Amino acid sequence: MNGICQIESIGVKMPEKRLTTAELLDKIRIPCIRRFGLLTGISEKKVCSFDEDSFTLALGAVTDCLLYSRYRADELDMIINCSITKYKNGLSHLYEPSFSTLIKKAIGAEKARTFDISNACAGMLTGVYLAEKFIRQGIIRNCMVVSGEYISSISDNALKNIKTSLSPELSSLTLGDCGAAAIIERTSDSDNGMIITGFTTLSKYSNLCTGRQKRDAPGGIMETRAKKIHEAAIYESVPIVKEALERNCLSLKDITWLIPHQTSRSSIISGANHYLKCFGETPGHIAITLKETGNTASTSHFLALYRYLNEKRFTEGDYVMLLCFASGLIIGVVIFRMNKIVYRYGR
């Protein structure tokens, strides 16, 4: 491996308020989706209270991240906000100024360059992709990548619209709220540096999952052809993952932890089975972390990393692969070796 960046610290902000799958399904009287919890593996998710939104979650995650970091806010060179939802003051969608500008001002990151990006659930990993490019070019030395997702309004709106188990809004019920942030920095330890590869948009699948603001209700609406997008993602990702591994003289079994985008347990397991057929081997572990959080959109990979770091599941030197699938269809691979960050979490 020959990477020049590493994850220096990660922070998370979860809302306190819980919504169990049982409580959610009580609001829908359709017998055939009673197995929703079993299929998705989600027993509860966290949802914003009246005083929380995308911005407070993002800011909370940034604050938490700085607590674990050796950087002060005024030492940050760049801040990239990557959330799909840009709700501030409740469900008011902010267009201008950018979230990253407001975060910069709130934490006093005086010298940081800022911009927002939006790339569906691949947002934070696209942020990492860009951070690495700017660091590689010598423009910056570190970058805070952040996202705050107040996305459960999509689930609330879906509850009113779902009439059958074939509803395109069914996947919306998996969405939970979360904020996550990570500092990416230059490292001289190239053997453990991040390999960021294969980031591709397969736009012929771009109509399989679409989300937008609702015209006549607060929040958003999302329509997904879940089976089709899942099949496309799994099928199309195989050559991309293969190439990423071959380029770095690795095989899938060398990967200690594979962390895919957290959509549902059944789709992660079926993806793992397809990979077993194609690669003839499996990674050490496949992370499924959505049981108590649901699908937290662009924050899901960093939420999984944060949780496992705090649970002391990682060991220094472990190979970790972050695999992103997102509406677009976006596929991308990030591979790195766990560094000394493992000793700073879970104490």
Partner 1 sequence: MGVKIKMVSVAHSGNSIFGKNSISLSARSAKQCLEDAGLDPCDLGLIINTGIYRYRNTGEPAIAAIIQEKISKKRNNKDDQYNNRSTFSFDLINGACGLLSGIEIVDGLIKSGEISHGMVVTGDSEPFPGLSGGFSFNSAAAAIILSRSDDNKGFCRFRTYNYPEYSDEFSSSTQFERRGTGRKGKNVLNIIQKASYAGYCIDCAVRSLLDFYDESGIKPDEIHLILPSQSPRGFAGMMKERTGMGDNFIELPDKGKKVLHSAGPLFALKKVWDDNRFINSANIIFLTVGSGISVSITLYKN
Residue 110 or 281 with smaller CB distance to partner 1: 110
Report d(CA 227, CA 184) in Å as an integer.
Answer: 34
Residue 55 or 257 with smaller CB distance to partner 1: 55
Rounded (10°) CA dihedral 273, 241, 336, 122: -90
DSSP letter string over 237-258?
Answer: HHHHHHHHHHHTT--GGG-SEE
Smallest gap from residue 75 Cβ to partner 1 (A): 16
Smallest gap from residue 120 Cβ to partner 1 (A): 4
**Which residue matches tokens 């053997």?**
191
Q: Are 256 and 287 in contact (CB under 8 A)?
A: no
Residue 21 or 157 with smaller CB distance to partner 1: 157
Smallest gap from residue 214 Cβ to partner 1 (A): 7
Smallest gap from residue 215 Cβ to partner 1 (A): 6
Residue 33 or 209 with smaller CB distance to partner 1: 209
Residue 89 in tokens = 């003051």
SS3 199: strand
Residue 85 or 147 with smaller CB distance to partner 1: 85
Smallest gap from residue 144 Cβ to partner 1 (A): 16
Residue 113 or 253 with smaller CB distance to partner 1: 113
Q: Are 291 and 41 in contact (CB under 8 A)?
A: yes
Report d(CA 172, CA 294) in Å as an integer.
Answer: 10
Compute the half-sphere exposure of residue 13: CA atoms within 13 Å on the CB side of its CA. Answer: 24
**Which residue matches tokens 């049981």?**
291
Beta carbons within 8 Å of 301's beta carbon, 6+ residues apart: 124, 125, 259, 261, 322, 324
Report d(CA 156, CA 307) in Å as an integer.
Answer: 26
- C-alpha distances (whole Å) from 312 to each of 26, 42, 95, 309, 343 are 36, 22, 39, 5, 9
Residue 206 or 270 with smaller CB distance to partner 1: 206
Smallest gap from residue 146 Cβ to partner 1 (A): 14
Smallest gap from residue 210 Cβ to partner 1 (A): 7
Where on the chain is the footprint of partner 1 (CB under 8 A)? 84-85, 88-89, 91-98, 100-102, 104-105, 113-122, 126, 130, 133-134, 136-137, 139, 199-204, 206-207, 209-218, 220, 222, 239-240, 326-330
